[in-house]
Structure 1
Amino acid sequence: MLYSFPAFLAGTWRRMSLTVSLVLAFLLTLGASQAKAQSPPPAKADVYIDKAGVLRWQGSKQEVALFGVNYTAPFAYSYRAHQKLGVKLEQAIDQDVYHLSRLGIDAFRLHVWDVEITDTLGNLLANEHLRLLDYLIQQLKQRHIKIVLTPIAYWGNGYPEQDTLMTGFSSIYPKGRAYNNPRAIKAQENYLTQFLNHRNQYTGQLNREDPDIIAYEVCNEPHYRQPESEVTTFIQRMVQAMRATGYRKPIFYNLAESPSVSNAILSSPVDGFTFQWYPSGLVNGHTLRGNPLPYVNQYPIPYRQDSRFTSKPRLVYEFESADILQPLMYPMMARSFRAAGFQWATQFAYDPLALAYANTEYQTHYLNLAYTPAKAISLLIAGKVFRQVKRNQQFPAFPADSVFNDFRVSYRAGVSELNTPEEFFYTGTTTSKPRKPTALRRVAGTGSSAVVRYEGTGAYFLDRLAPGIWRFEVMPDAIAVRDPFATTSLRQPVTRIVWNTQRLRLTLPGLGNDFAVRGLNEGNSLQAQAADGTVRLRPGVYVVAARGKNTTAFTAQTTLGAIKLGEFVAPSPTQLPVQVIHTAPVQVQAGQPVTLRATVAGAEAADSVLLVAQHFYGQTRTLPMRRLTLTSAEATVPTDLLYPGLLRYWVVVKHNGRNTTFPGSFAGSPRDWDYAPREHWEVPIVATGTALPLFRAAQDQAQVEAGGITGGGWADYVTGNDGQLALRLRQSPPPTGDNAPTPDPAAPAAFLRAYFGDRLATRTPDASNFREVVMRARRGAGAGRVRLVLITRDAAAYVADVELSGEMQEIRVPLTVFRLGSQELLPRPYPGFLPLTFQAPGPAALPLAQAEVLQVVLDRATAAPAGAERPFLDIESVYLR
């Protein structure tokens, strides 16, 4: 990982009853070659590496292709936070592993916090952390999930807190010295020997013999420097220590973290190599918006022409779409991984259910079935991608909508989908129809489709048990109440859980419109019958059956794959009063009605929601808000309030005759004579032709991305002679010292990235009137070229150079000057060998109405001036006019 917390293969081919010739004939009839889906990994088979460097299952000799997550509950912050909340760790692991099973996970990876289970000599300590790791392994095995362990993490155990009392060798030997300090090397040899020979107290198996632990990665993200001989010696000694125990399965090693010594790792006696992928950087402090798909278009590895590399298998130990909630990235990352030849990929990191309400474990990561349902379903789809796409299968470059094999990923629609005759998965409301409804066996999704009409926000699963009989599992509503990627705290929920009773309509062949429903999970005694295909259900698990079907054979204890029919895990309702979540637009256009939408959490179906709108010092109107669902409402402000000026407004929730006003959650209504709170939302009402801000340094600091690129620079905010705040992009000084990082000479020094799609949407009727980009900025002495880039929702980039002087000035750049070109992939993807730029096709002229992202790029100066003052660019504002 790039920050101060720990960072960080399926089995047999589907059996076909048709002969090979019939299969080929069938594929030809379809007119396309379909990749074979893979069945679950074998229960007991070990793995081996064939002569071509491919990881395979013993016995079947089929390729390994496993997809899953990292999960850290037995260690570090996760362990302490569960204790702080009074949650029993065994119960937490049981619940989370059940959810992983529901998401189709068949791979688990963990870098073990050696600092918590060893002493300074590398002796293994039989403590709670080790016991809980044993317990977790047992639970994973019961759900048929395969495991790769990284015994050495080199991390402290504090993040995001301070480190606590630590006993292990990593507490005294830092990562950068652990590989060339004799005592540290001896401690690691001792530890690896004892860890592999450790007998799991729940399974009774030695770690080195457990068939479900299919491989080991020696250590997590090692940091090496020249000379290479020290690296060579260290790796040899670690491998020798592991092999001396009798361990014979594959040993992997990280090849991404220390490129300066890659030759030593490539030539080492390890069996394969590991990589990671953070395409949107890490810890941006807020949710990233805009089209993220160019970031995951490909994963080109620089060693792919080296026979030392191509003759060995490769794994992805960690990946994540950091600071992105859109349910689009995982399926495309899985496709790129397979195109690059990977046989294992595990996301970092799945949030424990008990902590996910606050996203405190890793602020920049957020994934949990209950709390991020759409993103979790996208992980389920990504696993299908990883197992279906052939290793090294190549695809064309990213188009506007990505459709491949049985999958669809659409930024414009905001959905990822899997659509096969047997399975129909989707991450949000979709107009797609299942390919063959009569053959459906599994459905999973959020929102509504041709199969399920549902107004809730939680995920749901349908599994066919028999003709006309289905298991239906539905999760409670998850409602975002704060940005989960901003500063987090256990005292501050970022997602709220509400157990609403929702209308549900099912349209499944053979089910009929008057199907019966029976509760299955503990405490769920519901028995109901649908009318016109519709019932009202609370979260839980149900048997849904066509009228007259006998379902007595399906009990809570009946097994379905790795689960029992009655299993159900969901968080309790969040104990908070009613909340209204809304962000005011930056502008609205005069003379045009505007619809204001809000999320309403905790209000009952019978509650009234009102919008009180007021033109500043003008008339005030009370407008009923339409309840689109139990958790959303909207109202349209009429044009008689929307003349140029300032619109102020409030949302009032009326429950049992009592009013609560937002923002602020104050008793009463703004129309009461004694309503004293001054909090309100407000938005300027602007006339046609008014400039639209794309970036304002004084107001937008928390909504933009800015900084240096690969060590080339950094960002700050400064004030000018007139007291106005400006964003300063500054070039870094040249590196010094033998081991100082050298910035990529092809990369710019620093950048600003600002999403403005929502702002432009409020000015849609006026968009054709904009003629230029106006930038108020100055460039310091010796600074490099300045480029403005406007990027459309289809990822086409339009570029214009800007000439600036040393004085703060207003520069006008006609829109006709912008030419189709490349965007910088910012924030910078990691590892650093990944592409820095991306160019998508588009019309020759900028289609402004489709633009949504601004980049301001400061190129590196070719000859920076001497002295303390580094070349810089100050930006006060960028407008469309």
Structure 2
Amino acid sequence: MFHLLPTTSSKTLARSFWGFLLLLGLFSHSSVAQTTPPAADVYVDPAGVLRWQGSRQEVALFGVNYTTPFAYSYRAHSQVGSNLEQAIRQDVYHLSRLGIDAFRLHVWDVEITDTAGNLLQNEHLRLLDFLIQQLKQRHIKILLTPIAYWGNGYPEPDVNMTGFSSIYSKDQAYRNPRAIRAQENYLAQFLNHRNAYTGLLNREDPDIIAYEVCNEPRYVQPEAEVASFVRRMVTAMRSTGYRKPIFYNIAESPVVANAILDSPVDGFTFQWYPSGLVNGHSLRGNPLPFVDQYPTPYRQDPRFTRKPHLVYEFESGDILQPLMYPVMARSFRSAGFQWATQFAYDPLALAFANTEYQTHYLNLAYTPAKALSLLIAGRVFRQTSRGQQFPAYPQDSSFNNVRVSYRNGLSELNTTEEFLYTGSTTTTPRKPASLQRIAGTGSSAVATYEGTGAYFLDRLAAGVWRLEVMPDVVALHDPFATTSLRQPVTRIVWNTQPLRLALPGLGTDYTVRGLNEGNTFQAQATNGTVRLQPGVYLVAARGKKTSSFTAQTKLGSIQLGEFVAPPATTLPAQVVHTSPGQVVAGQPTTLRATVAGATATDSLLLIAQHFYGQTRTIPMRRPTLTTAEATVPADLLYPGLLRYWIVVQHEGKHTTFPGAFPGNPRQWDYSPQDHWEAPIVAAGAALPLFRAQADQRRVEAGGINGGGWSDYVTTPVGQLALRLLQAPPAPAPTTPAVAPVAFLRAYFADRLADRSAHVGAFREVVLRGRRGAGAGPVEVVFTTRDAAAYVATVELGNEMQEVRIPLTAFRPGAQLLLPRPYPSFLPLTFQASGPATLPLAQAEVLQVLLHAAPAAAGTSRPFLDIESIELR
């Protein structure tokens, strides 16, 4: 007997039933089982809303993708000596701490099938079973995409692949008869696979609430081939007796959208990469315009609106700021999505190097602020009504108990029961006495903390809290540049840090005792402050009886004593610093650095030298264990070049940075040539915004949707220039007609900050460049930290020249969302209100846009060369 969903129509039943009869013979040699599954726990109602079977409430689930059982993640865990089962346990615990209730994975079919689609009982499949069991124990719901079409190599070459995806490409998968039969065979066997740990068939597991057939298929016309393929995949899955929803990707191949819309699938899936992917470095500037809205196509089409929509993958690629997730969650709900899962959560064992997918970086221990923004985003997703609309940014920076502030680099949630924040905040909790949960980094009105890791406070009873403190984290390298397991990008330090709690009913002399394994700490706070190492603690008002709270006591889906944190990174002391672009002559300047591995008793010295001139040794202040600063006096800063070093003194020995060389630069035989330097300039000096010779790694440049590309060339006099070119083929069909063909984007707010006292003296932008024959119009755009844009048109000749653009020539306009968001149906431009004239002191990003020209004859392409851009 089949369990019928409330929305099942007679036509759908007939289609499924006859498809089932047809496939009885097709799968006669497979492991198809025909046992009756238990009642499905979700269904699609007549309005196209995904609902829970029992309560009839709307589904709203938010979480991550996670890939440890497969591909590079599987291999890399072995390379670092990590036990895979233990790694999965640890990561799933952290997911539970982040409030995750949704998990999605595109299964690497290439590792668990043969070329005929038969399911292989191997280690990858066993670990997937184990992962599912661990997720179920934490009450996390699951969406699986059985067919990935991917090889298993990235970022390495493919290795040891056995499945049908190793011989059939995406282009062949839906056309080749053998490939289609292999996929039908595999889908039936995968749904009928019995989990070795839960004892349940995949198709009957109530926590696997839905399936997406395949990951990011690539289709072309004619639509009939696509329609036939989709029907056959759905029929194969239904033949097993599976009755819960089946979803299909509709974002990847819009040219055949009608075939998907007319198909028997129960819903549609999308993805969102608002800042593109793999830019090779961290993107800076205000990213919030990228996520202001998600206008789905087909939203006027009843074939679309009568079915639910899910987001299988999303990410703020190459952005570490803890801002994007809460606004993305809000935009998803505005667009009607009921499920959203980030791609991809970094396994704890690999996050030190961010090698799995370098353009993504998310882990509770290694990116605590960004991870807490995901926690906040989950609350936003569940608490925002489906279809709820909001004003355009920046008016919507506060919404539904959430505040997202680019200026403060902060996301926070403030309700009567929860206070969650990604960094230090001056916000007062809405109702301190009612708080049940607190999570944050930095300091707030309820917790003052000098460490850099995340912490969690969960109320157990009046005056009794569970406190979880993660280790300090120190960024060493740009995590979005080229990565390697041989190079940590983030360092873990187990410091003992002061924590001051100010919670109603706790008092200032509260007691603290360790709960996690091996943690025997016991202490009493003084003036509300206690010094703690990472771990889990029971915090109680003095005199409170807490013997009933043990390490095994349950708190939701966790036990009080559970604690997972990476060990301290085994490296010597390190100093991380970036030199300023310019130092103003005659004014003292403060230089700051991040320090890892230096003890509280170690001393730090700044050795500052005017090139071949005076040299000073300046003791550095230690505001916290992980920061140091010193001020270079004005008398050393006359026009010229400042060179400097930072020396760590430990037990009488000196180590000099950059380079971590033994010794001190003031010693006569110190030979290393590494140093930091900054030009010392007069107040009226020009300020470089872009220099092709030096800035390749801090800018973004390229084509837009196939319309162009970029390169670096030398000018006739040997100088390096960025070249923007118009591409030979026509732009993609989804590209707006007004779109430029190529662009330069340069963040310069850090350079402008070095000259903040003299911003008012700048009068013009000077661009040195040339425009090739036939090239289209050129625009220069400034955007401010509040996302207002100001635009001016530039006239350039065929010879390299300086073009002066008065700042008064810039008029309010729209910025381009660059790098280009994906999918390509997303908005290309964003316009926010601002002052009538360019507020230069608030400007932070420069865009140069090359617009299209009529197609050029021959092989030459219209181009724009840019050697430099500066403020004068």
Structure 1 and Structure 2 fold alike (TM over 0.5): yes
Name the counterpart of 1:431: 426
1:654 aligned partner, one-letter code: Q
Distance 2:311 2:248 in 1: 11
Match of 2:790, SS state, is strand
Residue correspondence of structure 1 range 855-870 to structure 2 within 5 A: 855-861=847-853, 863-870=854-861
Distance 2:852 2:465 in 1: 61
Name the counterpart of 1:286: 281
TM-aligned CA deviation for residue 741 of structure 1: 7.0
Q: Deviations over 1:771-813 (max 9, x none)?
A: 0000001011111110000110000000000000111100000
TM-aligned CA deviation for residue 51 of structure 1: 0.6
Alignment TM-score, normalising by the size of structure 1: 0.94
Name the counterpart of 1:529: 524
1:873 aligned partner, one-letter code: L
Select which of 793, 796, 799 maps to 2:785: 793
Name the counterpart of 1:613: 608
Distance 1:109 1:470 in 2: 33
Name the counterpart of 2:312: 317
Select which of 684, 688, 692 maps to 1:689: 684
1:623 aligned partner, one-letter code: I
TM-aligned CA deviation for residue 864 of structure 1: 2.1
Alignment TM-score, normalising by the size of structure 2: 0.95
Select which of 872, 875, 878 maps to 2:863: 872
Distance 2:842 2:464 in 1: 46
Distance 2:729 2:284 in 1: 33
Which is further off, 297-306 or 610-619? 610-619
Residue correspondence of structure 1 range 585-596 to structure 2 within 5 A: 585-596=580-591
TM-aligned CA deviation for residue 44 of structure 1: 9.4
TM-aligned CA deviation for residue 176 of structure 1: 1.2
Q: Does 1:710 align with 2:705?
A: yes
Name the counterpart of 2:823: 831
Distance 1:45 1:381, change over 3 A: farther
Select which of 743, 753, 762 maps to 1:761: 753
Q: Does 1:629 align with 2:624?
A: yes
Residue correspondence of structure 1 range 555-594 to structure 2 within 5 A: 555-594=550-589
Q: Does 1:464 align with 2:455?
A: no
TM-aligned CA deviation for residue 657 of structure 1: 1.3
Match of 2:516, SS state, is coil
Q: Does 1:154 align with 2:149?
A: yes
Distance 1:45 1:458, change over 3 A: farther
Contact in 1 for aligned 2:734/2:824 (Cα 8 Å)? no
Distance 1:469 1:600 in 2: 35
Distance 1:601 1:240 in 2: 57
Q: Does 1:845 align with 2:864?
A: no
Q: Does 1:449 align with 2:441?
A: no
Name the counterpart of 1:388: 383
Name the counterpart of 1:249: 244
Q: Does 1:779 align with 2:771?
A: yes
Q: Deviations over 1:812-870 (max 9, x none)?
A: 00000000100000000000000000001000000000000000011111x12111111
Distance 1:785 1:208 in 2: 57
Q: Does 1:304 align with 2:295?
A: no
Match of 2:203, SS state, is coil
Q: Deviations over 1:520-547 (max 9, x none)?
A: 0001000000000000000000000000
Q: Does 1:351 align with 2:343?
A: no
Contact in 2 for aligned 1:224/1:258 (Cα 8 Å)? yes
Q: Does 1:229 align with 2:221?
A: no
Distance 2:631 2:849 in 1: 39
Distance 2:495 2:184 in 1: 55
Contact in 1 for aligned 2:734/2:825 (Cα 8 Å)? no
Match of 1:262, SS state, is helix
Name the counterpart of 1:183: 178
Select which of 482, 485, 492 maps to 1:490: 485
Match of 1:121, SS state, is coil
Contact in 1 for aligned 2:40/2:243 (Cα 8 Å)? no
Residue correspondence of structure 1 range 395-434 to structure 2 within 5 A: 395-399=390-394, 402-434=397-429
Name the counterpart of 1:374: 369
Q: Does 1:103 align with 2:98?
A: yes
TM-aligned CA deviation for residue 636 of structure 1: 1.0
Contact in 2 for aligned 1:712/1:744 (Cα 8 Å)? no
Distance 2:228 2:723 in 1: 46
Distance 2:257 2:791 in 1: 36
Aligned pair count reads: 835
Contact in 2 for aligned 1:711/1:741 (Cα 8 Å)? no
Name the counterpart of 2:507: 512
Name the counterpart of 2:717: 722
Contact in 1 for aligned 2:585/2:683 (Cα 8 Å)? yes
Contact in 1 for aligned 2:290/2:821 (Cα 8 Å)? yes
Contact in 1 for aligned 2:403/2:411 (Cα 8 Å)? yes
Distance 1:793 1:155 in 2: 39
Name the counterpart of 1:330: 325
1:626 aligned partner, one-letter code: R
1:514 aligned partner, one-letter code: D
Name the counterpart of 1:822: 814
Match of 1:325, SS state, is coil
Give the RMSD, CA atoms, in angstroms. Answer: 1.1
1:872 aligned partner, one-letter code: F
Residue correspondence of structure 1 range 34-53 to structure 2 within 5 A: 46-53=41-48
Distance 2:428 2:272 in 1: 33
Q: Which runs of 5+ in 1 are unaligned?
A: 1-42
Select which of 625, 641, 645 maps to 1:646: 641
TM-aligned CA deviation for residue 734 of structure 1: 2.3
TM-aligned CA deviation for residue 311 of structure 1: 0.3
Sequence identity (%): 78
Distance 1:654 1:45, change over 3 A: farther
Match of 1:208, SS state, is helix
2:806 aligned partner, one-letter code: P
Distance 1:702 1:413 in 2: 26
Name the counterpart of 2:71: 76
Name the counterpart of 2:727: 732
Q: Which runs of 5+ in 2 are unaligned?
A: 1-37
Contact in 1 for aligned 2:706/2:729 (Cα 8 Å)? no
Distance 1:473 1:306 in 2: 49
Name the counterpart of 2:20: none
Q: Deviations over 1:317-338 (max 9, x none)?
A: 0000000000000000000000
2:857 aligned partner, one-letter code: A
TM-aligned CA deviation for residue 680 of structure 1: 0.6
Name the counterpart of 2:55: 60
TM-aligned CA deviation for residue 400 of structure 1: 6.4
Match of 2:229, SS state, is helix
Contact in 2 for aligned 1:711/1:742 (Cα 8 Å)? no
Match of 1:176, SS state, is helix
Distance 2:671 2:177 in 1: 70
TM-aligned CA deviation for residue 607 of structure 1: 0.6
Distance 2:412 2:155 in 1: 35
